[in-house]
Amino acid sequence: MTPADLNPVRDQIASRIIGQQKFVDSMLVCLLSDGHLLVEGLPGLAKTTAVKALAEALEGDFHRIQFTPDLLPSDLIGTDIYRHEKGEFEFRAGPLFHNVLLADEVNRAPAKVQSALLEAMAERQITVGQRTYPLPGFFMVLATQNPIEQEGTYHLPEAQLDRFLMQAVVTYPTRDEELRILELDSQQRKGQTPSTTTRLSQAELFAMRRDVANLYLDPRLHHYIVDLVQATRIPRAYDADLDRWCRFGASPRASIALARCARARAWLDGDPFVAPHHIQSVAPEILRHRLLLTFEAEAEGVTTDIFINRLLNLVAIP
């Protein structure tokens, strides 16, 4: 398999979304790395549309669930239902048993509901009562959220954030892109947009993932990855400002994610091996939701992206 085999997926997304190339690349990297993606952005920036376009280009079951304050964990996982005619309980699977799950506005639901995703995202299984049910081999959660400062939103628990492989941030389009958005909307209203003709099969996707996993990653870059993650935990070894800004660093999941996503980034670029710039290009999406900054950093207007960019400039490349 080659990166060109993903062109139908790219074309499907491009037919629905104008611009946002960084966001689209993050979705593809996450897909090839067998991980879950958290998408953050203000309302109206086509977060949901992009995720649906990706799902429609893939072979598999797709389900969208709108997270609301009154949602229950059983609405995601499923529940045991008593069958009078059989005299026994029967499990009715919930939305988590689909291949692609769009958790729309995931931070609208309280932590009790959000925690229902933990086992599914980390272990690819669901436990109900005394029984455990495996999830499909192809299982991906794409969750959208509005910024925490928006009314009626909750902070996602740190344990759940850590289970998202990447966090993509969707920004406003440029002026030219917004003009093209108006043209696309006009075409859609006239029914002139093409329909999906081909879908990437799961067999093809698994073959791509094997190619990505086999891409060469030099042992010296393993040390670089670990140094980056260690620097988030002991920033005082690199810079006094970094030490003031960071309360808690990234977990070992971040190291694993950096290696996996750097391989996927190199494969998408058509490169035969991973280079330091591949690691640096995916580092913001992998680290930004795993860092907890101090109140001092927030008061100074320091964001996680500012912290990460400074970190990348300070940690030596082998």
Question: Model confidence over 223-275: pLDDT tens digits?
Answer: 999 999 999 999 999 999 899 999 999 999 999 999 999 999 999 999 999 99
pTM value is 0.91
List, for residues 130-171, the tens digit of each pLDDT value: 888 999 999 999 999 888 766 677 788 888 899 999 999 999
Mean pLDDT, residues 69-75 taken together: 89
Residue 28 contacts residue 9 (beta carbons within 8 Å): yes
List, for residues 41-71, the tens digit of each pLDDT value: 888 888 888 988 999 899 999 999 999 888 9
Residue 33 lies in a domain: yes
Confidence (pLDDT) at 89:
83
Confidence (pLDDT) at 149:
67
Concatenated DSSP letters of 149-188: TSTT--PPPHHHHTT-SEEEE--PPPHHHHHHHHHHHHHH
Confidence (pLDDT) at 115:
79
173 and 265 fall within a common domain: no
Q: Which domain holds residue 238?
A: 215-314
Q: Give percent helix, percent strand, percent coil of the chain, each to the nearest 5.
A: 50, 15, 35
Measured at the CA of 270, the angle between CA 6 and CA 55, to 5 degrees, comes to: 20
Residue 210 lies in a domain: no
How many domains does the chain fold into?
2
98 and 222 fall within a common domain: no
Q: Where are the beta strands (DSSP E) in 62-124?
A: 62-66, 78-83, 88-93, 100-104
67 and 136 fall within a common domain: yes
List, for residues 204-215, the tens digit of each pLDDT value: 999 999 999 999
34 and 73 fall within a common domain: yes
Confidence (pLDDT) at 111:
79
Q: How confident is the model at residue 218 (pLDDT cuts 50, 70, 90)?
A: very high
98 and 185 fall within a common domain: yes
154 and 240 fall within a common domain: no
227 and 183 fall within a common domain: no
User: How many angstroms separate the CA atoms of 268 and 33, rounded?
Assistant: 11
160 and 257 fall within a common domain: no
Concatenated DSSP letters of 224-271: HHHHHHHHHH-GGGT-HHHHHHEEE---HHHHHHHHHHHHHHHHHTT-
Confidence (pLDDT) at 194:
59
Confidence (pLDDT) at 196:
57
User: How many angstroms separate the CA atoms of 205 and 5, rounded?
Assistant: 10
Confidence (pLDDT) at 213:
96
Instruction: Between 1 and 27, name the one with better pLDDT.
Output: 27
Q: How confident is the model at residue 191 (pLDDT cuts 50, 70, 90)?
A: confident
User: How many angstroms separate the CA atoms of 67 and 58, rounded?
Assistant: 23
The CATH number covering residue 9 comes to 3.40.50.300
User: How many angstroms separate the CA atoms of 47 and 102, rounded?
Assistant: 10
Instruction: Please give the helix or strand (H or E) that residue 122 lies within, else none.
Output: helix 118-123
- DSSP structural state of residue 127: E
Torsions phi, psi for 66 (to 5 deg): -90, 115
Residue 158 lies in a domain: yes
Please state, in angstroms and as integers, the Cα–Cα distance from residue 54 to each residue in 7, 135, 164, following that order: 12, 20, 17
Residue 216 contacts residue 272 (beta carbons within 8 Å): yes
Residue 174 lies in a domain: yes
179 and 250 fall within a common domain: no
Q: How confident is the model at residue 193 (pLDDT cuts 50, 70, 90)?
A: low
Residue 200 lies in a domain: no
Residue 154 tokens, joined: 């909750």
The CATH number covering residue 278 comes to 1.10.8.80
Residue 107 contacts residue 154 (beta carbons within 8 Å): yes
127 and 251 fall within a common domain: no
Is the Cα torsion angle 280, 283, 288, 293 positive or negative in sign?
negative
Residue 205 lies in a domain: no
List, for residues 263-311, the tens digit of each pLDDT value: 999 999 999 999 999 999 999 999 999 999 999 998 999 999 999 999 9
Largest CA distance in the chain: 69
Residue 216 pLDDT greater than 60, yes or no: yes
